[in-house]
Chains A and B, each alone.
Chain A
């Protein structure tokens, strides 16, 4: 009985953090029921995650831009443009191992240009990036004008969007390496959670009771195990998922554990106080837009690899999907609040909606409306829970 009460308390206190996961869970269960289990099939989940990749990485970047109280509208067409550049380089025989760093560096340069306009010249980010939106849109047309769609036949490159990590061996029809990665993930998670808890106890911070802690551990481990099993039952973990995981791990680490991360949130929560604390607001602005550019490049690579071609309309509306994902993921429009994991889950929620409704054969018109409704609900939830805490 006590445990139940504690569970209620834990959920109530962390409703902002858990809300999104609960929503995702409900959406997934609903679709599974409505599609007679088709939604939760290995193949579909694998596809869903691959399809959300290029938006997820953009969402992480734009989440940080929103945290520092700016916005970036140029990222969709920048991703499309950089994807086209990647395709052209590959067509001209440049090795894929050179193409990727080149595109990422170009992304950083483009992002820094935006950063310069915003941080140094003082142009509102909305306007500066709207200009970028137009410029990169023109740039895509320019480079694809003659050829139209550019097909990419480099297998290594296309694997980024469509390939899977090697299996080593199949165990009972399951992808072994994927299972190993899943198991490692669970072990690392349990290890760090225990470590974290020990530390908190050492400093007399509030921790949940031991049985509650074990329930939490089991629950999260079970979810990781379930998804690993799902993916291992199809082709295993895809390269896209590997890339998303890498981005999440790196960005999560940087935002939560490093000085730069702290400075980003400081600038977002109170730029004046940050300045008076000796933090260079313009440097942080540069950095966040630079990272945004790099992730746009990565998004372009993922999208081009997935389609195995660069098209004249690549990147259309990516920016708004990414911004929506970031808001569904709990970033605050007032700045200073937002999580990397939130942005990625937000992207997965939006992709899940599209995927599930497609499976059900819902028309495109209601799809847009429902996704709009979910976005509005997510933000309403965010505002309500914030008010409750204040």
Chain B
């Protein structure tokens, strides 16, 4: 038997227009805990989806050797059959079913089609013991906390005689105590011969638990570090995670003139009662007129949530603390109040909650400010066309006509429509959430240019971004968020990829 339980050789995977993985080599030794790290979009999740059969054989290039055999998974159940179990960040449990029902879902203990629930309960008890979870197997999943739910997922994996356990950011939603328990459990499983792959953004955890750590960047393997050789250090990981040259893709800014504070948050907290925790905690930030403030951080750091809590509390969080806009206390009940006060929010998910895909460009651009082009409640369509044409020209939206359905546009052009929609409300403060996600370099440059023009006209911008290059290239000041908290503030002179990554992975 080879010393490796898993060898992924020369894996390449392309999506239309993007090379997500290129010739990735990833080898996991038998019985080790192997961490996979990298920036957002580095290809970690894609690699795990290739491994688990979400992307079937033939949609990627390269080989997967598992347990000494070349594997060609056509569907997820093929990878489960050989002993690979993957636990996603979004848990795949049924909240209204009990613990034992969840453990044996689609793997039911039966004889001749009749389920043997008693046996399932007995076996569940043993499995729960293995994962050190002391609950009655008949408890409903929804009555357990996230930490315990995660343990149920692991128990479910163990019930299928798992050889390789993959955890995608298992501690992202857990508090410290639960995280510690989980890491302990991984160590115990290791002693029992189970190999684990853990994707994590928290470098301290990685350093604490990993035997090996592989760093991906832009779809390529940068290195595999070995703990026994003392290679797994924060500096080494960060150096490999970032290290990208920042080219000259950021347009020059004219002289910078900052005015009064346009927005200020004091001890601002937002509690999401749906998931039962704070998505933003004791945030103190401010934005001056004419300033681009970057908010950096990794996925799940609470940046979008913070932005939406400012924007008229769009998600109905329980808020605490004070919000000042133009020096006046603001208490917005609805997004329309924030818009009236001059705040605009361009969402990170333009297809999901930004645009009306089945409507045309002009209807999308006017949607935030129909009042501005109507009299007595009647929309002046000529005015609307004029406005839409203006933004088409000034933002360079490439389309044969503003009657084109937005769903038919490319990502970059859709983003420009989103931007046009929010510029049409003439805001004082523009919140851009991942303004260039999924769009090509040319369109990125155009959007940066527009941002600079807006700033020159006296607007202020908050830019939430996971792209370090963009944060460094565009921001006048950077806040770094992690776990709903502001972990640090850096001026554009102080900010560097390493410093930001250090704060973001605390």
Across chains A and B, which 3 residue pairs bring their CB atoms closest together, nearest first?
A278-B336, A272-B353, A278-B339
Whether the pair A336, B356 counts as a contact (CB closer than 8 A) is yes
Determine the distance from Cα of A265 to Cα of B401 in the docked complex, in whole angstroms: 21
- Report yes or no: B358 in contact with A276, Cβ–Cβ below 8 A: no
B336 pairs with A263, CB closer than 8 A: no
Chain B, range 322-350, C-beta contacts under 8 Å to A? 334-336, 338-340, 345, 347
Task: Collect the chain B residues with CB atoms within 8 Å of residue A337's CB.
Answer: 358
A205 within 8 A of B: yes
Q: How far is the CA of A273 from the CA of B368 in the complex (A)?
A: 10
Bound together, the chains give a CA A304 to CA B311 distance in angstroms of 51
- Tell me if B347 and A276 are in contact (CB < 8 A): yes
The number of chain B residues touching the other chain, given as a range, is 35 or more
- Nearest Cβ distance between residue B174 and chain A, in whole angstroms? 28
Give min CB distance, B53 to chain A, whole Å: 28
The stretch that binds A, out of B122-130, B216-224, B372-380, B452-460, is B372-380
Compute how far the CA of A257 lies from the CA of B312 in the bound complex, rounded to whole angstroms: 28
Is there an interface contact between B379 and A279, defined as CB atoms closer than 8 Å? no
Contact, CB under 8 Å: B359 / A265: yes
Which of B314, B363, B381 contacts A275, CB < 8 Å?
B314
Closest residue of chain A to B371 (Cβ to Cβ) is: A259
Interface set of B (CB-CB < 8 Å, partner A): 311-312, 314, 334-336, 338-340, 345, 347, 352-359, 363, 366-368, 370-371, 374, 377-379, 381-382, 385, 389, 401, 403, 407, 421
Partner of A278, one of B335, B356, B357, B403: B335
Q: Is A260 an interface residue (CB 8 A)?
A: yes
Q: Are A205 and B378 in contact (CB under 8 A)?
A: no
A262 contacts which of B311, B314, B355, B367 (Cβ < 8 Å)?
Answer: B367
C-alpha spacing A263/B401, complex, angstroms: 23
Q: Are B352 and A278 in contact, with the CB atoms below 8 A?
A: no
The proximity string for A residues 230-268 relative to B, scoring 1 for CB distances below 8 Å and 0 otherwise, is 000000000000000000000000000111111101100
Given the contacts A262-B367, A278-B335, A273 and B356 also touching, CB distance less than 8 Å = yes
- Please tell me if A144 contacts chain B, counting CB pairs below 8 Å: no
CB distance from B279 to the nearest CB of A (A): 17
Cβ contact within 8 Å between A269 and B358 = yes
- CB nearest neighbor in B for A334: B358
In Å, the complex CA distance between A269 and B336 comes to 19
User: For residue A258, which residues in chain B have a CB less than 8 angstroms away from its CB?
Assistant: 374, 377-379
Say whether A270 faces chain B, with CB atoms less than 8 Å apart.
yes
Number of interface residues of A (CB under 8 A): 28
Inter-chain pairs besides A199-B382, A269-B357, A273-B347, 15 sampled, C-beta below 8 Å: A259-B370, A262-B379, A266-B359, A266-B367, A269-B358, A269-B359, A270-B356, A270-B357, A272-B353, A273-B355, A275-B353, A276-B335, A278-B338, A336-B358, A336-B359
- Complex Cα distance, B367 from A274, in Å, reads 8
Closest residue to B338 on the A side, CB-wise?
Answer: A278
- Knowing A273-B353, A336-B356 are in contact, say whether A257-B345 is a contact too (CB < 8 A): no
B368 touches A277 (CB 8 A): yes
Question: Cβ of A203 and Cβ of B385 under 8 Å apart?
Answer: yes
- Do A259 and B403 have beta carbons less than 8 Å apart? no
Cα A274 to Cα B356 with chains together (Å) = 8
A280 within 8 A of partner (CB): yes
Residue of B nearest to A256 (CB): B379
Residue interface mask A270-291, B partner, CB < 8 A = 1: 1011111111100000000000
Q: Closest CB-CB distance, A206 to chain B, in whole Å?
A: 7
